[in-house]
Structure 1
Amino acid sequence: MHQPSPPHPACPCPRRRALWLAATGLSLGLLGSANGAPSAKVEGLVRLPRAALQVQINQVGLDSLGPKVAVVSSAGRASSGRYRVLREGRVQTEGPLSALPAFEAWTPGRQHFQVDFSALTAPGRYQVEVWVGGQHVRSATVQVEPQALFRQTAGALLDYFRQSRHLDEGDRRRRIFETDRVVDVWGGWRDAGGDTGKYLSHLGYANFFNPQQAPMAAWVLAHSAHESAGLFARAGLLRQAQDEAFWGADYLHRVLDEEGYFYTTVFDRWGAADAERMVVGYEGEDGVYTRGYRSAFRAGGGLAIAALARAALLAESSGRQGEFSGATYLADARRAFSHLQTFGRSYCANGQENLIDDYSALLAAVELLRATGDAEYLQAARERAAQMLQRQDGEGHFYSDAVGQRPHYHAVEAGLPLISLSHYLSIEPEAARQASVRQALGRALDAQQRLDQAVANPYGYARQRFRLAAAGGTPGPIQSGFFMPHRNETGYWWQGESARLASLSTAAVLAGRALEPSAVPAGSANFGIRADLARSAQAQLDWILGRNPYGISMLYGFGARNPPAAPSSAGVMLRGGVSNGITGAPDSEAGGGLAFANGPSEDQWRWNEQWLPHSAWLLLAAVTLAR
């Protein structure tokens, strides 16, 4: 997740981490260090599988008409082999393996192959069996069926939200930092397994890292329950989805101040005994309290507005509501949007809006337009969309700032710019504006494809452009890599990227469907998008669900192997929760190498801890693919 848990012997605070490690003799060395070589000590860490031959596959669900690819990893340099694909134990197809380009970044000394069985569409349980260099192995099983990801996971993902509800009655009366005001901030969801704090966002002090947290979950639930009501109804999940959407909207109503801004966090330094739980902002890995508790568009304000507006539509269409009415949700959204349009910039740490503000405010304006039909929101959406297109270069890459110096990269919601533009496209009536947005979407999708294919990439992992930067320092040149760089403006924050991958998968599908009709294939195969985009979209989900070098499904309760319980999660792992995931090696500033761990220090949250945005993004991806 995004922060350490409270200090205790098994999970020391950051300030004492080095002393604790020295005293215990443990090391943070990982198999797959920055230079690709194994480190000497790996106590408490999850090792990469050592088997001479491995088949990594999505262990949960693949759509009948979508891409289906397994990755084969073999020790040594064998350049050929054979495979066969089994359905319910019976051979469906077989053939030769051909070696992929050499890939040394994560598993030096191994050769990779792919088995593409996309042509097989019959429902059932599938396995891939391979022979290479005298070795033989069979993969885990995967369910193939129509709308597989939704059918397999939606119920558990909804259960995760319900299990994560925050029910502490003490939140009925919490003080606002440096004031005597007491407000009702009850409800919402615990942010992560070991964190009872509630966040619209965090990391605002670093300006370019704000993730959308509780508001994103509330919007995903409200949007999905409204737009895809039939999908949930056929699965017997509609009422549960509606209940959770209204639960999220009710919390957003409570954290909307009478002045028109949202409270960013309800926080107690991760349960520290000497910390008062209150409405407050905070900075850094020590959780220093600040006055930054008013949410800018990028600090959750924009997505909170979008969620409330969509919850109003859901209330109207369903005849249901939460504690508060649909009319209340809509009035909240309108008031907050007006306030942030006037004062939002002053809530930004550096006093300047950036791309995150743009795409968050754009989605807010789009949802308000859908809920009200008022022309003012169309104009606001047009202005934000135009601003976003100005931040895109000729190759298709987005920049976070206004001067084109900082490439946009995000460990949580890298796909949200394209998702917001895709939603805007659906409400824009003018053909010329539609054409400009479609061109921008196409350039961005093509730029991501080129970036991913610029190096050997057997797993199809979505790469990113970044500049190494320390707080207050001069950033380095633009470079590219697989994982989030560890030297960045936050000073400490990096973690696994399950949410980022699901967001990019969703973006590829939504934006791919929004391209010019000539670029969208006929029929329902490949999710209704170009084959290359479909393969990329599926590859990101496959990584989360087990097709990764560790063979671990990050979705707890699904697949052959899950992350172990982590101290920062109080030893609790919820079915339907998604762990942060795999990262670059800790000793690599640029996030090179590979790492996944459950210890030995409190740093294990970077890999194992379940976090609210991961399940929200996976649910949105599942719904999007199924529509």
Structure 2
Amino acid sequence: MPTTILTSHLGYDTAGSKKAVLLHRNPTEVRAAALVGEDGARVELTPGPEVTVDRWSLGAFRRLDFSDVREPGTYQVEIETAEGTQRSEPFPIADKRIPATGISDCVNYFRAVRSTGEIDRKDRAARFYNDDSGRTVDARGGWLDASGDFSKFLSHLTYTRMMSPQQIPLCAWAFFAARDNLRADPTLDGALGAKLRDEGLHGADFLVRFQSPEGYFYTGIFDALTKDLNERVINAPLQDSVRTQRWQAAYRHGGGLAVAALARASLAEVSGDFAQAEYLRAARRGFDHLEHHNTDYSFDGTESVIDDYCALLAATELVNAGEGVVAQAESRALSLIARYTGGPGFGYLIGDVEGRPFFHAAEPGLPIIALLRFAEVCPGSPVSPQARVTALALARDAVHLNEEVANPFGLNRQYAQPKGEEPRTTFFFPHGNETGYWWQGENAGICSAAYAALVTAGQPECDDELRQRLQVLADDQVHWVLGLNPFDSCLLQGRGRNTPEYHAIFKNVPGGILNGITAGFEDEHDIDFMPAGPVAAGNAWRWAEQWIPHSAWFLLAASLMR
């Protein structure tokens, strides 16, 4: 058929926004459209205008909105064109459909990718790269980074100013945050709360072990992609798996989120391998060390916006755990707030010493989340109102960028600056960037934007109109992952349809999230997903490989969906 009816494969929450998108490969007149229940009941739908998106070469699109339908059941979208009547695959509308299913799947994924067996036996006495001193670290635990990479990272890409992603520490923090989000819903908390807590403690236990006697955290254990146990050494890699002895994690290299996760673990009602007081001591020791040495561990001796929001979250979680570091949290909040500047019709954060705008492939929503967490934990601080104002401004900017161009899927957009070029608004992360090689599907990034939108929507200062737009933005990102995308591919392994295989040997794990969809391989104004030529040349990882931050951000977003 010349038209494909795209829907969320997992279905829709009764209380959420709901839409389908029609993909037309040729100009098409839609004569009628309806939502059809399994009992034959029909709700007539009004098709939106046919639009093209940037230079996406797949065809044109129409949106069909049925957000007002809240009756649980199984439905299909039906359209009538000159070619005849066509129906979508069936999908459910149900109470808590996304949080109940999505969070459970993600928790099971993390349990499956825990570091165990021969890897843990080796990591029990992890050596350092190019070091003959004989010293070792007990680095058991944590989670393996990706389908084809059995490393354990606090962060990789540590040789960049604005691309370091938060990895294992973010995941540990996310389990505690998601568990707290579910406390408002006894049904979900009862089913999933203990699992979330216990997985967070598993991550916290690893972070305690992975801290140096001096107080800093190590950046990671990396085998240069050899899968050779004897090559598993503590190091920080550069491009092409070149290993270095720069293994001290600055705030932006996972050190800040390690502090935040451990502080949160100290408040759990039960302990893991360490007592709650030990988690807090490790957190405070790591924070105090980085307060004096952070720039010593960055490759250029400067801080970026990532240092600010990671240090802010670290200090905030310490305050929440009873530590007296309000002044440090306020200082970081003010530094982050001062980065906000007016732009070409919208605002943005100045990211680094070069004055580039902040944009990120894995966590563009984290500045908003850190500011609002600070405002929540420190409500009496004179900086708290400023933090809320800046967070809401950033959220309005995000909505503006999503709505300023034809965007039938509501996909999150950013103001980005490719290497050697001027800044521009874009759907996807630029291929030309600081790393020299790293770009991939951005499911972590869009889910971080979804979570930031939902946290903002819950603020009392958020007006009703913005709240509704933010909730739609969040739904759009989650449903993109769940199959409502131009490739009709569910990016949650084990659910839905058309999920690609990453590798014949290194299999993806059910419940995990794939990297996802990118800009065109040749034309960055186009869109791509598993193009045959690049896949045959060894680039399948960019789209089909699983990576733990995707699932962490997805479960956070799902934890606030109702």
TM-score (structure 2 length as normaliser): 0.94
Partner of residue 231, structure 2: 276
Question: C-alpha offsets along residues 59-101 of structure 1, whole Å, 9 cap, x if unaligned?
Answer: 1132211110110122322344311112335334014424243
CA distance in 1, matches of 2:427, 2:226: 34
2:546 aligned partner = 610
Whether the 8 Å contact between 1:80 and 1:99 is mirrored in structure 2 is no
1:540 maps to 2:477: yes
Per the alignment, residue 512 of structure 2 pairs with 577
Structure 2 counterpart of 1:142 = 91
C-alpha offsets along residues 525-568 of structure 1, whole Å, 9 cap, x if unaligned?
xxxx622212111111111110111000100111133222424x
Residue type of the alignment partner of 2:399: Q
- 8 A contact 1:54–1:137 mirrored in 2: no
Amino acid at match of 2:129: F
Q: Secondary structure at the match of 2:544?
A: coil
What's the offset of the Cα at 1:516?
Answer: 1.3
1:31-70 → structure 2 map (5 Å cutoff) = 51-70=1-20
Per the alignment, in what secondary structure is the counterpart of residue 428 of structure 2? coil
What is the letter of the counterpart of residue 603 of structure 1? N
Residues 406-425 of structure 1: pairs in structure 2 closer than 5 A = 406-425=356-375
**For the Cα contact (< 8 Å) 1:365–1:380, is it kept in 2?**
yes
Q: Return the alpha-carbon distance in structure 1 between the equivalents of residues 500 and 429 of structure 2.
A: 20
**8 Å Cα contact 1:209/1:410 also seen in 2:** yes
Would you say 1:223 and 2:172 are equivalent positions? no
User: Which of 495, 513, 530 is matched with 1:596 structurally?
Assistant: 530
Of 382, 397, 401, which residue of structure 2 is paired with 1:447?
Answer: 397
Gaps of 5+ in 1: 1-50, 470-474, 522-528
Instruction: Give the aligned CA root-mean-square deviation in angstroms.
Output: 2.0
- The answer for the alignment partner of 2:328 in structure 1 is 380
Query: Aligned to 1:479, which of 397, 401, 424?
Result: 424
Residue 398 of structure 1: aligned partner: 349
State the alpha-carbon separation in 1 of the partners of residues 299 and 43 from structure 2.
Answer: 57
Match of 1:289 in 2: 243
Aligned partner of residue 188 in structure 1, secondary structure:
coil
Overall identity of the aligned pairs, in %: 34
Unpaired segments ≥5 residues, structure 2: none
Residue 211 of structure 1: aligned partner: 165
SS at 2:424 equivalent: strand
Q: 1:266 to 1:274 in 2, by over 3 A?
A: closer
User: In 2, are the aligned partners of 1:484 and 1:591 still within 8 Å (CA)?
Assistant: no
Q: What pairs up with 1:262-341 in 2 under 5 angstroms?
A: 262-271=217-226, 273=228, 276-284=231-239, 286-314=240-268, 318=269, 320-341=270-291
2:301 corresponds in structure 1 to: 351
The CA distance in 1 between the partners of 2:2 and 2:108, in whole Å, is: 38
TM-aligned CA distance change 1:227 to 1:534, over 3 Å: closer
Contact 2:100 2:188 in 1 (8 A): no
- Which of 111, 114, 139 is residue 60 of structure 2 equivalent to? 111
Deviation of 1:243 after TM superposition, in Å, equals 1.9
CA offsets per residue over residues 172-214 of structure 1, 9 Å max, x none?
Answer: 1111224321111111111011111100001011221000011
Pick aligned residue for 1:257 from 192, 205, 212: 212
- CA change 1:468–1:366 in 2 (3 A) is same
Distance 2:81 2:60 in 1: 10
Is the alpha carbon distance of 1:381 and 1:135 closer, same or farther for their aligned partners in structure 2, counting shifts above 3 Å? farther
Q: Does the CA contact (< 8 Å) of 1:391 and 1:401 recur in 2?
A: no
Q: Which amino acid aligns with 1:387?
A: S
Over 3 Å counting, the alpha-carbon distance change for 1:607 and 1:154 in structure 2 is same
| Separation of aligned partners in 2, 1:435 and 1:133 | 57
Q: Which amino acid aligns with 2:413?
A: R
Asked if 1:188 is matched to 2:142, the reply is yes
Q: Tell me the CA shift for residue 274 of structure 1.
A: 9.9
Name the counterpart of 1:38.
Answer: none
SS at match of 1:484: coil
Q: Which amino acid aligns with 1:393?
A: T
- 1:583–1:591 Cα contact (<8 Å) kept: no
Of 348, 351, 368, which aligns to 2:318? 368
Q: 1:233 deviation in Å?
A: 5.7
SS at match of 1:196: coil
What letter matches 2:496 in structure 1?
G
Specify the SS of the correspondent of 1:289: coil
Deviations 1:398-432 (A, max 9, x none): 121156x2111111111111111111110233475
Equivalent pair of 1:306/1:363 in contact (CA under 8 Å): yes
Alpha-carbon distance in structure 2 between the residues aligned to 1:294 and 1:537: 35
Q: Select the structure with the greater relative contact order (CA < 8 A; seq sep ≥ 6).
A: 1
Residue aligning to 2:73:
124
- The answer (yes or no) to whether the contact 1:99–1:111 under 8 Å persists in 2 is no
2:485 corresponds to which letter in structure 1?
Answer: N
Amino acid of the residue matched to residue 407 of structure 1? P
Give the match's secondary structure for 1:344: helix
